[in-house]
Amino acid sequence: MSPTAAQVFDAVDVIIAKRDGAALSPEQIAWVVEAYTRGAVAEEQMSSLAMAILLNGMTRAEVFAWTRAMIDTGERLDFTDLARPSVDKHSTGGVGDKITLPLAPLVAACGAAVPQLSGRGLGHTGGTLDKLESIPGWRARVSTERMREILGEVGAVVCAAGDRLAPADRKLYALRDVTGTVESIPLIASSIMSKKIAEGTGGLVLDVKVGSGAFMKTAERARELAETMVALGTDAGLSTVAVLTDMSTPLGLTVGNAIEVAESVEVLTGGGPSDVVELTLTLARHMLQLAKVDVDPAEVLASGRAMDSWRAMITAQGGDPAAALPVARESQVVLAPDSGVLTRLDALAVGVAAWRLGAGRARKEDAVQAGAGIRLHAKPGDTVTAGQPLMTLLTDTPERFERAAQALLGSWDIAEEPAASHPLVLDTVTA
């Protein structure tokens, strides 16, 4: 809802209303978001309003109005005329979370269209675009027209979101990052869902991570975020399902960029770590159910058709799926200090270490090293022997090893007996 000339409010009045715990009207929200996007509401005013939202929360109606207002600052995509039903997936981010890479071509090979708008890594969580850019020639920027062509030809495209998709979100996201308001669930949910609703797919599966390596550290917070996003999708007419998944331990055996691509290819060729395969198939089943495609993704994965889709998807964006991937120039092995069972491997510590090795960035404008990262040789539940390699650190700049090793101090436990195992998929949230 774009505010009309008669629907002009005073920013201070809107701030005071939310500060005092009142629910903002759709008209107030539409005005303040639009006015902030064009610069009529000052940064310090929106900072104050964001803090009031963090402290006092928002009703379901407010969050929907806020999300709709952010969508209305930009364009909407529409894939309803594709020959295939469209469905998308979004992850809240984790360590070793390479699931989009095998998932998009797998779902495409099953008969759905996957227009996946992805992002870059920041901090300890890796970005899908950074991983794919380690493939020689691959390009993240794709025009809307070309995106539609690839979806028609291949069935899957993974690319950067255009600047015209929910521009209010980019401005507000940067503000939240420097004002201590990142943790606001209404603002997190609207940030994610404004882009996903504007993307115009027919269904959406959300992978909401829980644990040390996730943005949401507790199941309670993760569930609240999942329920808020599912409600937003439902209210917007977008079929939405959220899956809560464990991120206390890194996913798979690689954390980085090129090495995660290589592991994803292993999955597509019928191998790969069991947790990566499990989560890929779990999310694929949910996506296909929303798209009303009655195909078993496990059979498609085993048939090799998903690998064919991967090659076509990479080639369509200028990449060479047969090219050698970048390899880090330097490596350092971390050895197990004791013998026993590895009972804990902290995802956050591993993610920070990979970031310090050059696999991630502290600021959006920073470059990443394609070959940097960490290769794990053991996961919780595995028996290890003193002196055995636990992990290998990879980087082009060996002076980074020391700080990476510091991040790993105290990040694992080795005991005589195995600890209780935790499921990878914790729960599912539906409308």
Same domain, 172 and 279: yes
Same domain, 268 and 141: yes
Same domain, 352 and 289: no
Mean pLDDT along residues 404-414? 97
- Looking up tokens 């290890």 gives 384
Handedness of CA 268, 201, 229, 174 (dihedral sign): positive
Closest to 53 measured CA to CA, from 175, 138, 153: 175
Mean pLDDT for the chain overall: 94
- Residue 80 forms part of a structural domain: no
Same domain, 265 and 225: yes
Q: Point out the catalytic residue in the list 176, 196, 209, 223.
A: 176
* CA–CA separation, 342 and 379 (whole Å): 7
Query: Three-state SS string across 219-263, please?
Result: HHHHHHHHHHHHHHHHHCCCEEEEEEEECCCCCCCEEECHHHHHH
Same domain, 342 and 244: no
Q: Point out the catalytic residue in the list 169, 235, 246, 346.
A: 169
* CA–CA separation, 310 and 107 (whole Å): 11
Domain boundary among 255, 290, 316: 316
Collect all residues with Cβ–Cβ distance below 8 Å to 371 and sequence separation of at least 6. Answer: 134, 256, 257, 258, 259, 325, 326, 327, 328, 329, 394, 395, 396
Same domain, 138 and 219: yes
- Residue 64 forms part of a structural domain: no
- Residue 76 forms part of a structural domain: no
User: Does the pTM exceed 0.75?
Assistant: yes
Q: Point out the catalytic residue in the list 118, 191, 264, 411.
A: 191
Domain count, the chain: 3
Quick: pLDDT tens for 294-328.
999 999 999 999 999 999 999 999 999 999 999 99
Helices 167-177 & 43-56 angle (0-180, nearest 10): 80
Strand-pair partners of 86? 113
Handedness of CA 266, 267, 271, 277 (dihedral sign): positive
Q: Are 328 and 395 in contact (CB under 8 A)?
A: yes
Closest to 202 measured CA to CA, from 283, 98, 292, 123: 292
* Neighbour-count burial for 20-39, b at 16+ CB within 10 Å, e otherwise: eeeebbbbbbbbbbbbbbee
- Looking up tokens 């889709």 gives 309
Same domain, 36 and 158: no
CATH number (domain holding residue 27): 1.20.970.10
Quick: pLDDT tens for 27-49.
999 999 999 999 999 999 999 99
Quick: pLDDT tens for 61-81.
999 999 999 999 999 999 988
Q: Are 336 and 386 in contact (CB under 8 A)?
A: yes
Residue 221 burial by CB count (10 A; 0-12/13-18/19+): exposed, middle or buried? middle
* CA–CA separation, 105 and 112 (whole Å): 10
Q: Point out the catalytic residue in the list 90, 131, 223, 356.
A: 90
* CA–CA separation, 339 and 113 (whole Å): 48
CATH number (domain holding residue 307): 3.40.1030.10
Quick: pLDDT tens for 113-168.
999 998 877 667 778 999 999 999 999 999 999 999 999 999 999 999 877 889 99
| Residue 6: pLDDT over 60 | no
Domain residue limits at 30: 11-57
Same domain, 50 and 103: no
Q: Point out the catalytic residue in the list 68, 89, 148, 195.
A: 195
191 part of the active site: yes
169 part of the active site: yes
Could you tell me if residue 137 is left (phi over 0), alpha (psi between -120 and 50 degrees) or otherwise beta? Answer: left
Residue 298 burial by CB count (10 A; 0-12/13-18/19+): exposed, middle or buried? middle
Quick: pLDDT tens for 182-208.
899 999 999 999 999 999 999 999 999
DSSP codes joined into one string, 100-145: HHHHHHHHHHHT-BEEEEE---BTTB--HHHHHTTSTT--S---HH
